Amino acid sequence: MKASNSGWWRGGVIYQIYPRSYADSNGDGIGDLRGITRRLDHVAALGVDGIWLSPFFKSPMKDFGYDISDYRDVDPLFGSRDDLKALIDRAHALGLKVMIDQVYSHTSDQHPWFVESRSSRDNPRADWYVWAPAKDDGTPPNNWLSVFGGSAWQWDTRRRQYYLHNFLTSQPDLNFHHPQVRQAVLDSVKFWLDFGVDGYRLDVVNFYFHDRQLRDNPARGEPDGADPAVPAANPYGWQWHRHDKSQPENLGFLQRLRSLLDEYPDTTMVGEIGDDDGLARVAEYTGGGDKLHMAYCFDLLGTPHDAPYLHRVLTRFGQVVGSGWPCWAVSNHDVVRVATRWGGAQPAPELLRLVAALQLSLRGTPCLYQGDELGLPEAEVAYEDLQDPYGIAMWPEFKGRDGCRTPMPWDSQAADLGFGSGTGRPWLPLEPRHRALAVDRQLADPGSLLHHYRRLLAWRRGQPALLHGEMDLLPSHPQVLAFVRRQAGERVLCAFNLSERPCGYGLPEGLAVARVLDESGVQGAGLAGAGLRFEPFGGLFARLA
């Protein structure tokens, strides 16, 4: 029986928490569930609707939790199931939904399933992973590449076969063509729904199935480095990934997954999609109301961000979206922080305010990453302090993901920025520049970025057009991105100068501003005759006549 769903996620705001780096309750230098629980008041005061917790499950931590060895238990580093239950109860008391991060494309090589699978070619789980014989010359079965560099195939001496790993060699891929694998995954999903979670963030959701025939991917040639999901130094971008992911069988499994979630009230799923045409996959995976509720890709997670680029992204999405629903993120645990990616070494405060306004006015569900509300720049992490295997492998051209994962700064006066008890060295070094941006300092400053986010989120709640309305892009402009959100006869103009230069902007014929919505807190723009004028990085919300 299908349960009721309030649709809280549709236009709601999600806040991503990276547990290792949020708050440390026991002084061991690693953030944990109790630490998160103690800091949930900050999230609730921000005005978001739910949290997404990056993985906290049992893991050897080769990829810091994205290599799970037990889907149904909490790693002792982060606490216990009781700690998770206390976190969920506290979040619910504060009006926050709790989404957990599940990694079903692959497991750790220490997962009991893989330990059994690799033990022989005829054990009960022999086909639970993707195994294939070598070619006649001993080389891997095909040309597929790992996201983390090199072949996606690893030789195993026990079975004298190769196994597929789209990421680290210690992250073997599950074989979703096997019905028992699919059922085991669904059983894991049900376990945590029964436990009380409100939904899931699904890691690399388009990687579940592979081409049964193991056909080679076609060559793409050396890319120009513009793909926001793949660093230029990574050979992964030299292929069109036609056969190793985004297979048609995935849609049927997502429908089964949605049917399961629909048995539980007010639940939701957001999928991460890395694909040659991410926007098309978002539309495909979220359309029809029978698969994912929402999904995000990497189009806003790269360096390009000027007005013409964003206009092209939103134009493309408008062409393919149909009934789909996007989740828009401009930062997360996998990419350089937006303050640095879009703002450079010295990001303008006005730009960071504009980024918030832009993200929170797009049609879809915004997802904020911890520290976005503080304007944290990317941390500088020395090679000897790196933890990320991706960065270690590709140094120095690509420094990995540690720079966006350093501890959250809570207390500007504390030696460890209030991250923990101060007795343990944090797992990643503190960033000195974050001290001046700590939560306590920004709370004391009514003009801070943190208060800007709070005011903007509170104002947005009263704007139905921004929560649920359709979006009409206005013509492309060299500096200004502008669009209209409309709902039930109400039309809100959203316009942003993504340039450090002032400019004018002529409104298209038939559009006239009735009132500038100054209460939004967005500044740096105003009326100029029949058009608009913008200061550098100025923005404007206005009610149209």
- For residues 177-185, give the mean pLDDT: 98
For residue 457, the SS3 value is: helix
SS3 of 234-249: CHHHHECCCCCCCCCH
- Per DSSP, what are the bridge partners of residue 368? 15
Q: Please give the pLDDT value at position 543.
A: 98
Q: What percent of the chain has pLDDT over 90?
A: 97
Quote the pTM value: 0.97
Whether 48 contacts 462, CB under 8 Å: no
183 Cβ partners below 8 Å, 6+ apart? Answer: none
Q: Parallel, antiparallel, or unpaired: how do β-strands 199-202 and 97-102 relate?
A: parallel
The Cα–Cα gap between 16 and 36 comes to 11
- Residue whose C-alpha is closest to residue 544's, from 380, 532, 534, 7: 532
The Cα–Cα gap between 269 and 257 comes to 9
Q: Please give the pLDDT value at position 1.
A: 80
- Per DSSP, what are the bridge partners of residue 29? none
* pLDDT higher than threshold 70 for residue 422: no
What are the pLDDT digits (tens) for 234-275? 999 999 999 999 999 999 999 999 999 999 999 999 999 999
* pLDDT higher than threshold 70 for residue 535: yes
Q: How confident is the model at residue 423 (pLDDT cuts 50, 70, 90)?
A: low
Domains of the chain and CATH, by start: 14-107+179-460 (3.20.20.80), 470-544 (2.60.40.1180)
Is the alpha carbon torsion for 401, 406, 409, 412 positive or negative? Answer: negative
Q: Is 124 exposed, middle or buried (0-12, 13-18, 19+ CB in 10 A)?
A: exposed
Mean pLDDT of the chain: 97
Whether 327 contacts 279, CB under 8 Å: no
For residue 202, the SS3 value is: strand
Q: Please give the pLDDT value at position 232.
A: 84
**Region class of 138: left (phi > 0), else alpha (psi between -120 and 50), else beta:** left
What are the pLDDT digits (tens) for 394-411? 999 999 999 999 999 999
What are the pLDDT digits (tens) for 318-362? 999 999 999 999 999 999 999 999 999 999 999 999 999 999 999
Beta strands in 129-193 (DSSP E): 131-132, 153-156, 161-164
The Cα–Cα gap between 378 and 405 comes to 9
- For residues 139-158, give the mean pLDDT: 97
Counts of helices then strands in the chain (DSSP H, E): 14, 21
What are the pLDDT digits (tens) for 103-137? 999 999 999 999 999 999 999 999 999 999 999 99
DSSP 402: G
* pLDDT higher than threshold 80 for residue 229: no
Q: Please give the pLDDT value at position 202.
A: 98
Q: Please give the pLDDT value at position 205.
A: 98
* pLDDT higher than threshold 80 for residue 225: no
What are the pLDDT digits (tens) for 427-475? 999 999 999 999 999 999 999 999 999 999 999 999 999 999 999 999 9
Q: Please give the pLDDT value at position 224.
A: 78
- For residues 143-162, give the mean pLDDT: 97
- Residue whose C-alpha is closest to residue 47's, from 518, 362, 404, 462: 462
- For residues 177-204, give the mean pLDDT: 98
- Residue whose C-alpha is closest to residue 296's, from 245, 335, 330, 338: 330
Please identify every residue annotated as catalytic. Answer: 203, 263
Q: Please give the pLDDT value at position 128.
A: 99
* pLDDT higher than threshold 80 for residue 227: no
